[in-house]
Amino acid sequence: MSHCDRQKPTKTPARRETTVPFKRSVSLAAMIAALIAAPANAATTEEKLEILTQEVEQLKKEITKTPEKPTGGMAPHGHGWHGKTGETTVGGYGELHYNSLDSKDEIDLHRAILFLGHRFDERISFFSELEVEHTQAGEGKNGGEVSMEQAYLEFALTDNHAARAGLLLVPAGILNEVHEPPTFYGVERNPVETNVIPTTWREPGAALAGRIGQGFGYDLMLSSGLKVATTGTSAYNLRSGRQSGRQADANNAALTARLKWTGAPGVELAAVVQRQDDVAQGTVADGVAGAATLWEAHAALMRGPFGLRALYANWDLDGTGPKALGRDEQKGWYIEPSFKLTPKFGVFARYNTWDNEAGDATDSKKIQKDFGFNYWPHENVVVKFDIQRQSGTANDDGFNLGVGYMF
């Protein structure tokens, strides 16, 4: 989040901070001197101590009191007035992975995220997440990245409705908004919500969200759209088309709508549609690339020790460009049953299938089966293990081991 530049007042923060304690020190010294000089018969020693104790408590209140803010709408930029009002929350999450697969044998601090939130008052709040992937970023750092995962203001319109503006997570899928490691099974995020729904997917924009009726909720988001490449191996690849708020091309926006039902304990049912008119953002001639439409539906159920997640997602891309590559249709689905043997130990199995070139007659479908367990030594700390088996046009077998946390 960028801060507005403001003119500094004539008196600097350093001058203000040193003046007030000096006055309080003088007051304290005068108070002690007066007590010492008091006649012996004016008060007993116990009474003197009681008076001194009361004065010290009053002095403590004055020291902790927030100094008066300058008038005229001016405040010092930098640290001067940050954190002086409201409530600030700090949190985070992260995960370490060991992958022993046909394609690689590596250990990686995949991500570490710092959450910072602030409540200005009962109606206005700020939320942000700063992410570091693969521990380092920069030239020669082999894919490392430092990025904002989200940074937005939320304005409570009523008790049931809110408006948001900033860098927002797109309301699609199960994992895109809730992906802290202790909240899902499996070391790696499932391939359908990686290759079809490009989690983590965030875009700058504005949104409305709220609750309506019996257990229903809605999200409506207007944001920057995808900007896919139109040539090369990444042509019309949706994941590589995310703009993520980095000088995002705003030639063609995307509109996302979600309807969600959580009217029964442990049940979430949702349907999502997203539409943008030009997935290439005007970089190619009309007719080569056109509209992109996402349809997604999912269910997440938890009944006692039993859990079940299921999701289906489908993209339709207009234009002769994606059609020539079979990428005019991209789709996938998965189903994941789970069972908690104890409150701290759960097992799962997941069947995933996806195809990013489903628009042609060639069999390009990929299949992945996962089996494993989660162990929670603490509700916010998890140890994970799973076995991965792929088939179809994918062939990357092996196992994954990981640890994760959130706070």
State mean pLDDT over 294-323. Answer: 97
State mean pLDDT over 154-163. Answer: 97
Phi-psi region of 159 (alpha: psi -120 to 50; beta: other; left: phi over 0): alpha
More confident residue, 26 or 204: 204
Token pair listed for 367: 């299949």
CATH architecture of the domain with range 88-406: Beta Barrel (2.40)
d(CA 241, CA 264): 37
For the chain, how many helices (H) and strands (E)?
Answer: 4, 16
pTM (2 d.p.)? 0.79
State mean pLDDT over 383-401. Answer: 97
d(CA 27, CA 61): 14
Tell me whether strands 161-169 and 202-212 are parallel, antiparallel or unpaired. Answer: antiparallel
In terms of C-beta distances under 8 Å and separation of at least 24 residues, what long-range contacts does 198-201 make, across chains too?
198/238, 198/239, 198/241, 198/242, 199/173, 199/175, 200/149, 200/169, 200/176, 201/169, 201/170, 201/172, 201/176, 201/242
| Local confidence band at 56 (pLDDT 50, 70, 90 cut-offs) | confident
d(CA 15, CA 349): 64
d(CA 291, CA 303): 40
Would you say residue 63 has pLDDT above 90?
Answer: no
More confident residue, 59 or 19: 59
| Local confidence band at 45 (pLDDT 50, 70, 90 cut-offs) | low
- Residue from 254, 326, 340 nearest 294 by CA: 254
Contact 242, 201 (CB under 8 A): yes
- Flag the least confident range among 63-72, 82-91, 318-327: 63-72
Give the pLDDT confidence score for residue 23 in this predicted structure. Answer: 42
Token pair listed for 135: 């521990």
Give the pLDDT confidence score for residue 199 in this predicted structure. Answer: 95
| 169: enclosing H helix or E strand | strand 161-169
Q: How far is CA 265 from the centre of its chain?
A: 24
DSSP 8-state assignment for residue 182: G
d(CA 153, CA 169): 13
Contact 241, 232 (CB under 8 A): no
| Local confidence band at 144 (pLDDT 50, 70, 90 cut-offs) | confident
Would you say residue 303 has pLDDT above 90?
Answer: yes
State mean pLDDT over 295-311. Answer: 98
Token pair listed for 339: 């069972």
d(CA 38, CA 317): 89
Domain boundaries, the chain: 1-85, 88-406
96 - beta bridge partners? 109, 403
- Residue that the structure tokens 């076995």 belong to: 387
